[in-house]
Amino acid sequence: MPALVLVHGAWHGAWCWSRVQATLAFSGVDVTAPTLTGLGDRAAELDPSVGLRTHVDDVVAVLDAADEPVVLAGHSYAGLVVREAADRRPHAVARLVLIDAWVGRDGDSLLGLAPDWMRDAITTAAADRGDGWRVPPPDPSLVGVDDPVDAEFLRLRLTDHPLAGFVEPTRLTGAVDRVPAIAVTAEPSALPFRRWAAEAGWPTTLVGAGHDLMLTAPEAVADVLLDALGAVPS
């Protein structure tokens, strides 16, 4: 079974995969969950130079350290991160798993893909509360977490995200399109993740959970990841 690399999304850290990892622990899966520069327990490293390219470099470094091709999973913002990393190292990725994830073509940015209401909210938050370059974390309810205990768990851990991560365009050569991919999308959703997966032709699993489904539906996410691992030719 290949190794599994889990990449968190905006405002989060490797901590967000703890429930998924606990479910996978009994399956003997080799799991790596890096924390992206400037986020989570690396929040002290955040500065205006950190952006999408920094985070892609973080994941490429993990791929370069792997002994064999991995299954690479990305949640939300990390959809852009893992696809660009796989585009740069297609030989190192056996399969991609896009978990309620942003997906773009070469030159697309998250803010360019986002609906007007989201783009306005992000840029306003950065201008009003983030010195123009940081985006404070949203309320947990905006990522589909309504349980009071889970919401408090998030509030204690979410950290500012660099605006540059949302503004920088993804850089793709097309190599990533030759890497097999599957998708997991939350249902219902106000964002077009399911449509993008359908347009790409990826097999897609719908999960009745909020956007942070690795917290609200970790067993369902773990099942999809195990299926992805099992589908990789030995």
Q: Annotated catalytic sites, by residue?
A: 76
CA distances (Å), 106 to each of 5, 98, 169, in order?
A: 23, 17, 7
d(CA 1, CA 165): 32
Among 9, 33, 86, residue whose Cα is nearest residue 225: 33
DSSP 170: P
d(CA 27, CA 196): 31
d(CA 114, CA 120): 9
Q: What is the CA radius of gyration of the chain?
A: 16
In this structure, are residues 104 and 81 in contact, taking their beta carbons and an 8 Å threshold? Answer: no
Burial group, residue 64, by CB count within 10 angstroms (0-12, 13-18, 19+): exposed
